[in-house]
Amino acid sequence: MFGKLLTKFGVKSRKGRETAYGYVFILPWLIGIVCFVLGPLVFSFITSFADYNMLKVNFIGLSNYKKMFFQDQLFWKSLGNTLVYSLLNVPLVTVGGVIVAVILNKSIWGLRTFRTIYYLPSIMVGVGTYFLWMLLLDPANGLVNTLLGLIGIKGPAWLTDPNWTKPAIILMHLWGLGGQMLLYLARLQSIPQDYYEAASLDGAGMFKKFTTITVPLLSPIIFYNLTIGIIGAFQVFQEGYIFSGDGTGKPAGSLLFYNLHLWNQAFKNFKTGYANAMCWFLFAIVMILTVCNQKISKKWVYYEEGDNDD
């Protein structure tokens, strides 16, 4: 049918026909990228220079950006919160994931059960998990502080103490590191055992083998997870919204993450122009991070042959 149509329009060469087919096949994605990525990016860039409330556009030059950098205290606060969270969360979850994966790659009794248990939290998704952690972290009779009390430590007030809200989120994410662990585990299982045997013959110990074989071979996937993790950290929203109860980022604004501030500006205060300026600043940060990440990765990521065959 489509072939006949092409003949009718005089597309006869094999190459031309393939190109026509190709674009028909990727058409849904092309529509998607224009409507939901490129279009919105252009639109938000233009309106970031305007006083815009979804009804009237009134261009005001750089005012939104000036306000963002020089007047809006909460902008810096939310950016700082996000940075602190990301600098703590990403390395901890990554290191934790690698360690658990390395242990779960050994032949230990009950291995399958352990793998399932460690993976379990990452399929317990949704708002319910957040509520569970609010209960666990209750300062008075929550499970965490009760257990800490048993070993003589007076637990912090977690979600009600501004200094402890971010550690609380990280604790929850460490609980759920099984998803990342699985990625590392899959990679570890593809490492041939003879590498380790050869190293053993050369007298390498457990630690030496870990740093010279395991880490280099895991590095592409660690790098991938770092990139995704850092960008993911800039996506943090739900934690702040749900844990603060009312979406304001309380206590003391310690849960006001960048996206939560953006959300409140756009959908509570209806400062769409200003929110779009924030969108673009976020876009710029993520782009810079991604490029830096790519540059740094060249130094320490070891790609096996055939990994980059495109």
Do the bridges between strand 50-52 and strand 57-59 make them parallel or antiparallel, or are there none, so unpaired? antiparallel
Residue 78: CB minimum distance to other proteins, A: 12
**The token pair that represents 128 in the structure block:** 């319910």
Among residues 166 and 261, whose Cβ is nearest to other proteins?
261
Among residues 164 and 241, whose Cβ is nearest to other proteins?
241
Residue 240: CB minimum distance to other proteins, A: 11
Residue 73: CB minimum distance to other proteins, A: 21
Residue 115: CB minimum distance to other proteins, A: 9
**Spatial separation of the C-alpha atoms in residues 61 and 64, rounded to whole Å:** 8
Among residues 21 and 195, whose Cβ is nearest to other proteins?
21
Nearest CA to 79 among 291, 281, 294? 281
Among residues 29 and 70, whose Cβ is nearest to other proteins?
29
Among residues 164 and 258, whose Cβ is nearest to other proteins?
258
Buried b / exposed e over 126-144, threshold 16 CB at 10 Å, is: eeebbeebbebbbbeebeb
Residue 84: CB minimum distance to other proteins, A: 18
Among residues 73 and 141, whose Cβ is nearest to other proteins?
141
Residue 77: CB minimum distance to other proteins, A: 17
Residue 191: CB minimum distance to other proteins, A: 14
Among residues 63 and 293, whose Cβ is nearest to other proteins?
293
Among residues 73 and 206, whose Cβ is nearest to other proteins?
206
Residue 278: CB minimum distance to other proteins, A: 8
**The token pair that represents 132 in the structure block:** 């569970």
